[in-house]
């Protein structure tokens, strides 16, 4: 039996936690200043920063449930990283609260003048403040519920080694992955699509899901590099594990690109006024250059790099690509949000840097606190010996 103490989190995580808290505190101070200087920009930036880190946490939850369904060695050695990210959802729920005070700044349907808009009145049964808040609470109950129940079962497996728990987690994950996708799809409509409520897209939800998968895998690879360089995971993680994560990252990059281009192609070929406004605002006035950058550096460059087997088996190089993808995920969210408010010309507010720093610092602090609570491996999982021998 592998000893618990041997597989405790490395002491270097304490320093990561301290630095994250300092960064989060600095970001909060900058955001507080921005709130008084430019309140509308603060709410837009907070929305981007919050959804960015929420996407990592939710993506980790989805990848964890995918692992329970498939039982691959790639997921077993990463389970503790994914579980810790899922358990941060209550923190992200609290960080959602500032947005409730800026609904009128963000969403046209929440403003008094929406009563004079016939189209918004037709959508008022869905797009209204009480129902918006109730749906957000429901989403977090679904996500948080599955995250904590699966995490609790995993801990119980460590304590008892009961074999039936593996099957129970698999069955729970099969329902969880469906409900996660449904809740995330509706959340994408609520939090991002309804920034421009006259526009709609039936593929936007899966586009949102694809981005979360990229964010989670990129985060996992960066964290795995950090752990791989330190005991005890330096003895556990192998090039084969990184190779598997690199292949999954490539798959999600292709999936995101497929959904993104499909949405563009369908809307642009249809050429309907109520649909093309979203792309019209994002392909002119300087925003077209960011759109081109996303096509080149969110898809083309990582696609070419991740085709290399040698790169995927070299942790430092793979982590460099993963870090780059985390940057591109942030830029993609800026491109989705800011043109809704500045469609005529490109604008970039410094709060788009401060808000992700604030939310991210607090989130990384919470994640580090969670991952330190348990051994870095599910010690009594029946598939652990196979996962440790994987290459």
User: 1-10, 199-208, 266-275, 300-309: lowest mean pLDDT where?
Assistant: 1-10
When pLDDT is averaged across residues 228-245 and rounded to a whole number, the result is 93
Name residues whose C-beta falls within 8 Å of residue 151's C-beta, 6 or more positions apart in sequence.
Answer: 83, 86, 87
Q: Whole-angstrom Cα distance, residue 152 to residue 102?
A: 36
By 3-state DSSP, what share of the chain in percent is helix, strand and coil, each rounded to 5?
80, 0, 20
Q: How confident is the model at residue 2 (pLDDT cuts 50, 70, 90)?
A: very low
Instruction: Give the gyration radius of the chain's Cα atoms.
Output: 21
When pLDDT is averaged across residues 215-244 and rounded to a whole number, the result is 95
Sign of the alpha-carbon torsion through 361, 362, 365, 368:
negative
Report whether 344 contacts 286 (CB < 8 A): no
Name residues whose C-beta falls within 8 Å of residue 148's C-beta, 6 or more positions apart in sequence.
Answer: 86, 87
- Render pLDDT for 163-183 as a digit per residue (tens, 0 to 9): 899 999 999 999 999 999 999
DSSP character string of 197-264: TT---TTHHHHHHHHHHHHHHHHHHHHHHHHHTSTTGGGT--HHHHHHHHHHHHHHHHHHHHHHHHHH
Closest by alpha carbon to 62, among 278, 208, 271, 165?
208
- Render pLDDT for 71-127 as a digit per residue (tens, 0 to 9): 888 889 999 999 999 999 999 999 999 999 999 999 999 999 999 999 999 999 999
Q: Whole-angstrom Cα distance, residue 107 to residue 136?
A: 15
Half-sphere exposure of 203 (CA within 13 A, CB side): 16
| CA dist list (Å): 145 to 69, 87, 141, 155 | 18, 10, 6, 15
Q: Whole-angstrom Cα distance, residue 78 to residue 315?
A: 14
Percent of the chain past pLDDT 90, that is, above it, reads 88
Half-sphere exposure of 79 (CA within 13 A, CB side): 31
Burial of 287 (0-12, 13-18, 19+ CB in 10 A): buried
Q: Whole-angstrom Cα distance, residue 278 to residue 272?
A: 11
């Amino acid at each position: 039996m592998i000893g618990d103490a041997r597989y405790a989190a490395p002491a270097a995580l304490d320093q990561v936690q301290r630095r994250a808290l300092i960064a989060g505190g600095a970001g909060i101070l900058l955001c507080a200043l921005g709130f008084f200087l430019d309140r509308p920009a603060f709410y837009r930036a907070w929305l981007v920063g919050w959804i960015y880190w929420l996407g990592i946490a939710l993506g980790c939850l989805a990848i964890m449930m995918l692992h329970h369904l498939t039982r691959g060695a790639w997921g077993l050695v990463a389970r503790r990283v994914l579980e810790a990210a899922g358990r941060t959802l209550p923190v992200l729920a609290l960080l959602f609260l500032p947005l409730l005070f800026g609904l009128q700044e963000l969403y046209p349907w929440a403003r008094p003048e929406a009563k004079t808009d016939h189209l918004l009145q037709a959508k008022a049964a869905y797009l209204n403040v009480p129902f918006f808040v109730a749906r957000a609470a429901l989403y977090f109950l679904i996500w948080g519920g599955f995250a904590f129940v699966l995490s609790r079962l995993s801990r119980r497996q460590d304590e008892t080694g009961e074999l039936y728990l593996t099957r129970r987690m698999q069955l729970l994950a099969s329902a969880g992955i469906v409900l996660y996708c449904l809740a995330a799809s509706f959340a994408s409509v609520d939090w991002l699509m309804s920034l421009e409520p006259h526009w709609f897209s039936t593929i936007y939800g899966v586009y949102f899901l694809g981005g979360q998968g990229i964010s989670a895998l990129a985060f996992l690879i960066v964290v795995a590099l950090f752990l791989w360089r330190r005991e005890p995971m330096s003895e556990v993680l192998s090039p084969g594990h990184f190779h598997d994560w690199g292949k999954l990252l490539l798959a999600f990059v292709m999936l995101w690109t497929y959904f993104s281009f499909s949405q563009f192609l369908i809307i642009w070929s249809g050429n309907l006024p109520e649909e093309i406004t979203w792309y019209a605002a994002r392909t002119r006035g300087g925003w077209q250059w960011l759109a081109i950058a996303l096509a080149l550096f969110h898809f083309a460059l990582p696609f070419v790099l991740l085709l290399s087997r040698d790169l995927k088996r070299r942790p430092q190089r793979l982590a460099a690509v993963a870090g780059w993808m985390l940057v591109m995920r942030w830029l993609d969210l800026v491109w989705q949000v800011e043109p809704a408010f500045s469609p005529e010309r490109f604008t970039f507010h410094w709060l788009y840097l401060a808000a992700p720093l604030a939310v991210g610092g607090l989130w990384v602090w919470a994640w580090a606190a969670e991952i330190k609570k348990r051994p870095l491996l599910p010690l009594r999982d029946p598939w652990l010996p196979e996962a440790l021998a994987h290459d």
